[in-house]
Chain A
Amino acid sequence: MTEFLQHLVNGLSVGTIYALIALGYTMVYGVLKLINFAHGDVYMVGAFSGLYLARGLGVDQSPSLFKALLVFFGSIVVCAALGVIIERFAYRPLRHQPRLTALITAIGVSFLLEYGFQLPPVTQGSVPFPPGPTPRFFPEPFPRVDYAPFGVHVSNYDMVSLAVAVGLMFLLQFIVYRTKFGTAMRAVSFDSSVAGLMGINVNRVISWTFALGSGLAAAAALLVAGSRPTINPLMGLMPGIKAFVAAVFGGIGNVPGAMVGGLVLGLAEEYVAGYALSSYRDGIAFAMLILVLLLRPAGLFGRVRAEKV
């Protein structure tokens, strides 16, 4: 029973992270019909910008809650800007090209970030830039406290992470379904050319969508960096792909679907790896993806649309 609960806790904490990243995928797919392959690497950039900010503010010498918040929101802003820049220069010129063209560009951007961050350093400092391939430790903004109710290990980082992630998801739900911007975004997702005719500035909506998704990825990265504190330039590859699986599982383009998909994937991984096939953890997501696509290609909440000629 203890083991079961422990897996539940771990699964939820991984699952919320997947869900946050998956939201970025699903929103971008919704408005552009593009798999933003570079999204996992935006998540990695989020972790590193958090590291630079934390070092710059001296979080390891004198940790404080204010600095932690500054780091958190600072890297969200950095990543949002990065997302907008990527969209502006890599995807927007290709919007009227075949979709594969943009997908190839996205793969290119992803590799550029991954391997660009592994280049030999240009600037010196406590953490050089680019940081190089060595894993780095993320400073802890507040002391770690472990609790063990019923023998289940939970740290205060896990609780903060879960609370923040759930809070962000509610915030996003509010933005998408209750604000003017959210309405515009859903309109663009439904039919961008008609939305443009109705006076919606499609380019601006797409830019903001990228900003929102990338900001969520940065938040996810910082929540992960808090509980599992090493970061490296390739850290975004696997979570990125798995979050994509989560988005497809929930029905890509569907916001609540991405949340559910992330949680289901996190729990599935944790339970399958914990009880049966521990070394196959990374394969589970792909097996799940192939099954979903074979059995229900539109995903859990996706609607099947007839193909128009």
Chain B
Amino acid sequence: MEQVKLALRSALPFLIALPVLWGVSEVLRYYEFTSFQYILMMAFIDVILAVSLNVINGFTGQFSIGHAGFMAIGAYTAAKITLAARGLEIIGLPPGISDQVIFLLALLAGMCTASIAGFLVGMPSLRLRGDYLAIVTLGFNEIIRVVIENTSFLGQATGLSGLPRRTTLVWVGMGAMATILMARRLVGSTHGRALLAIREDEVAAEAMGVNTTGYKVRAFVISAAFAGLAGGLLVHLIQLCTPRSFTFVKSIEVVVMVVLGGMGSITGSVIAAFVLRFGVEALREAQQYRMVLYSMLLIVLMLTRPTGLFGTREIWDWLPRLRRNRAEGGAR
């Protein structure tokens, strides 16, 4: 009984989010806000990316600039599976539901392959610190791109086209929800405390018996899995899977979100993802200024407020009534 209650409680956010998201998407469809819905979906995908990168860059204090590489792996895996399963139906299910189940399986497979890649990249982090790790993740991102561009199975530079449009607002919303919950629960857990300890002082954490390498690799695996999820959702939204979507520039975009929101703040990442996505859409005519703005934002932010907007705090830390006792680690 106790366990059923616990299970229900942990599933509660999803049970609430599902009808809400479905309602919102129906309302948007009814009033034909198609472009707004599209931007909203892109923003949710950005939320998944930013929050998952925050697990490495914010909580663990490592610096990865290769998030798009993990995205690419998840995206290609999912795309390959949905392409292969096109026309297939699971026996006993109506076609609409069968498609959704196949899509879910494809996304999960993408998460698995991306997390394997995360494990492989996480291993070198066992010997590397800070800036070296950054370069290795960047190099890994480039290697992925070069390999994809040379593999005919993956469509080389032109990529995979003709993907079915499976991503809906409900899918991305649930994905973002899962990512945020994962991050939130991770920080509260023993694992999360170990990650925060590594961020605050790696040597001290090791002296206290934290298996720093093991936890760093785990952080990479978790983060990579959710990047793979974002990749799978993205390619089934734009219905095209090319290496151009997963370049170094994409990785930097995600880094900008995390840095802007504050490294170590989940709500900060969420807000930064929304602000940047909607800001970019508002400045659509000034598309060519986008990267210049991003870079100036990075420089100015680092010079004036290196902790980002929120630092390691969450938004509810400012709500006086809900203010918790911040005895937990990470308070500046």
Contact = CB atoms under 8 A, between A and B. Distances in A.
A286 B203 CA distance: 29
Contact of A99 (B130, B138, B255, B288): B130
A184 to B, nearest CB: 25
Contacts of B291: 111, 114-115
Contacts of B306: 94, 97-98, 101
A237 B124 CA distance: 24
A245 B292 CA distance: 26
Nearest to A279: B150
Contacts of B150: 279-280
Interface string B256-299: 00010000000000000000000000000000110110111111
B22 to A, nearest CB: 39
A105 B134 CA distance: 14
A119 B136 contact: no
Interface residues of A, number: 45
A235 interface: no
A199 interface: no
A131 to B, nearest CB: 13
B323 interface: no
Interface of B is mostly: helix
Interface stretch (A4-12, A218-226, A289-297): A289-297
Nearest to A281: B146
A120 interface: yes
Contacts of A3: none
Interface string B105-138: 0000000000000000000100110111011101
A104 B131 contact: no
B143 interface: yes
A119 B143 contact: no
B149 interface: yes
Given A108-B302, A111-B298, A309-B203, A282 B146 contact: yes
A118 B63 CA distance: 28
Contact of B296 (A107, A112, A244): A112
A105 B302 contact: yes
A125 interface: no
A102 B298 CA distance: 11
B302 A109 contact: no
A119 B288 contact: yes
B135 A289 contact: yes
Nearest to B134: A103
Contacts of B252: 107, 111
Nearest to B65: A107
A100 B143 contact: no
Contacts of B65: 107
A135 interface: no
A282 to B, nearest CB: 5
B298 A108 contact: yes
A100 B295 contact: no
B142 interface: yes
A290 to B, nearest CB: 6
A116 B292 CA distance: 6
Given A97-B306, A294-B124, A103 B299 contact: no
Given A279-B149, A280-B146, A282-B146, A90 B303 contact: yes
A241 interface: yes
Contact of B299 (A90, A114, A245, A307): A90
Contacts of B135: 35, 241, 244, 248, 289
Nearest to A90: B299
Contacts of A111: 252, 291-292, 294-295, 298
B151 to A, nearest CB: 10
Contacts of A280: 146-147, 150
Given A103-B63, A104-B302, A290 B139 contact: yes
Contacts of B76: none
Nearest to B131: A35
Given A98-B306, A285-B139, A286-B142, 20 more contacts: A94-B306, A99-B130, A103-B134, A104-B302, A107-B255, A107-B298, A108-B296, A108-B299, A111-B298, A112-B292, A112-B296, A112-B299, A115-B288, A116-B292, A119-B292, A237-B248, A286-B139, A290-B139, A294-B124, A307-B203
Interface of A: 34-35, 90, 93-94, 97-105, 107-112, 114-116, 118-120, 237, 241, 244-245, 248, 279-280, 282-283, 285-287, 289-290, 293-294, 297, 307, 309
Q: Across chains A and B, which 8 residue pairs bring their CB atoms closest together, nearest first?
A: A108-B298, A286-B139, A111-B295, A115-B291, A283-B146, A108-B299, A112-B295, A105-B302
Interface of B: 63, 65, 124, 127-128, 130-132, 134-136, 138-140, 142-143, 146-147, 149-150, 203, 248, 252, 255, 259, 288-289, 291-292, 294-299, 302-303, 306
5 contacts: A114-B291, A241-B139, A244-B135, A282-B142, A290-B139
